[in-house]
Amino acid sequence: MPTTTFASLPPDIVDRILTLLPNFRALSAALRASKSLIYNVFLNHPLSITHAIAYNLIGPALPQALRIIQIKHWLDEDGYHGFSNAAPEDEIIQACPLTRLIGEKLEEYADVASGLEDLFSLRFKNRLSKTSLLTPQEALRFHRALYRTWACTVINAEVTDEDVTDDEEEDEDQDDDDDDPVDPLTRCRVKIIYALLNDLSTTEIREVYDLVLFLNLVARWVMCEQQVQHVAVTEPNIIWYAFSQGIPSDLTSFNAGIWDGPRNIDSALSQIWTERKVRSDRYLDTRSKAILEEVEGENAACERCGFVGGLELWGPTNLILWLRNTNVQELSSGIFLPGLLSNNRDITDWIKNSLIFGRDDNGNSTFDFEELMNGLVDIGNEREGAGRWSRDRWYCNDCVGELFRRFFWRWILLHKTKRGETIHDDCWYGYNCRTMTHRLEHARKLNHLCIPTRGEGAGV
Ligand SMILES: [Zn+2]
Ligand SMILES: [Zn+2]
């Protein structure tokens, strides 16, 4: 039987195989592999092959993804006036020839969209899986809304003072007495975002609204975890990188601005809702309902106390989201520490400097949340009986808080000992000592990570 090699395949089969490639990296590899046959087939049908691969990569939201690239292109070429050249979404695939550069952009978009989709699914669809369990229809809505929101954020980031027309300047003069004056640049950005969104059906606009709420939440998680007040997250990819990789300490620009994209998108949305006579307050409680048809585990109960926490139960897949929901600074507060320990600066400084904001020589965080959680569960089982706490179970906010309140201070003591830090003699008043709260010297001289043996709370 003659062996069939790739090079002996008929060109139309090779063409078919190329259209099935998952991404542009695979296409480059294939083109490099066979300069003659594959390259020639590709040269005969470059458009159909690249469009097919783009579709495999991005899925049915390809027009919305391409539109971001086209909007960036207009803004680069002609400023905001180029906007009138916009191709409608349904014509964009023809209007946008796929260059290598566009291929690379689409690959980046696909990675970011898939990471955000996994996160959205974990938080709002099904907390049991770190990989998205969205149905194909839900995934399409999510991606479509993500790319549309992304296009709005590009406008927000890239329309500059130079794009502001005289009209907007004049408008501002007239609005001088307004209670809430809007500067011409903001007015200009809102106008373009409005034009983009107003093409959509009301249902699709609700999807965008849900997506903005979701991005707000992710941005808040980033700010809580990194302890920054502001994050210059101009586009969804930056939010995703900051969430998944942390804000690089050498990139101070991350701290330079704020995630203010939604404000202008919100302004455009309220205008549209008013015009369409849809009451905007009807949308305020609709988070994730426009995108998701069905949610799994809405009635799930805490395995310790029975509280019906639904998707706000924390366990093996998502405990890190509990931490991100909690402002990490709170780990040194009275919410998670017994007695007066949260007023003992020696301890709170240790929690901040040695634990949550600890950095290695390269500036990378050394805070190992997994290690902390495993340690708390071990201490809990040691003190309350084997199997009382488990990393495999699901707990509500209160019960995770309880785990911290009861055992975090013991874990700190254990951790300090393991690190070889000097542990001083116990203060009689333990974690209820008042002196430690106003005399740092006393706080440092004695160990307060202990149960009081005198005074308030002694013998408990
Ligand atoms: Zn509970
Ligand atoms: Zn004391």
Which residues line ion ligand 1, judged by CB < 5 Å? 302, 304-305, 307, 396, 399
Q: Which residues contact 212 (CB under 8 A, 6 or more apart)?
A: 149, 261, 262, 265, 266
What ligand is nearest to the CA atom of residue 308? 1
Give 154-192 pLDDT, tens digit per residue: 888 777 777 776 665 555 445 444 455 678 888 888 888
% of the chain with per-residue pLDDT over 90: 48
| pLDDT of the residue at 136 | 97
User: What is the pLDDT confidence band of residue 194, given thresholds at 50, 70 and 90?
Assistant: very high
Q: What is each CA distance from 400 to 342, 343, 351, 368, 396, in whole angstroms? A: 18, 22, 18, 17, 6
Distance in Å, CA 349 to ligand 1 centroid: 30
Please tell me the distance between residue 356's alpha carbon and the centre of ligand 2 in angstroms: 25
The per-residue pLDDT for range 357-407, each reduced to its tens digit, is 788 887 777 888 899 999 999 999 999 999 999 999 999 999 999 999 999
What single-letter amino acid sits at 200? L
Which ligand is nearest the CA of 430, by number?
2
Burial class of residue 196 in the structure, from the number of CB atoms within 10 Å of its CB (0-12 exposed, 13-18 middle, 19+ buried):
buried
CA of 329 to the centre of ligand 1 (A): 22
Global pTM reads: 0.87
Q: Which ligand is nearest to the CA of 443?
A: 2
Helix (H) or strand (E) holding 158: helix 136-158
Q: What is the pLDDT of residue 340?
A: 95
Please write the tens of the pLDDT for every residue from 311-342. Answer: 999 999 999 899 888 877 788 888 899 999 99
Q: For the purposes of burial, counting CB atoms within 10 Å of the CB of 299, is it exposed (0-12), middle (13-18) or buried (19 or more)?
A: exposed
Gap from CA of 381 to ligand 1 centroid (Å): 17
- What is the phi/psi pair of residue 142, to 5°? -60, -50
- Binned at pLDDT 50, 70 and 90, residue 459 comes out as low
- In 3D space, the residue among 434, 432, 425, 427 whose CA is nearest the CA of residue 457 turns out to be 432
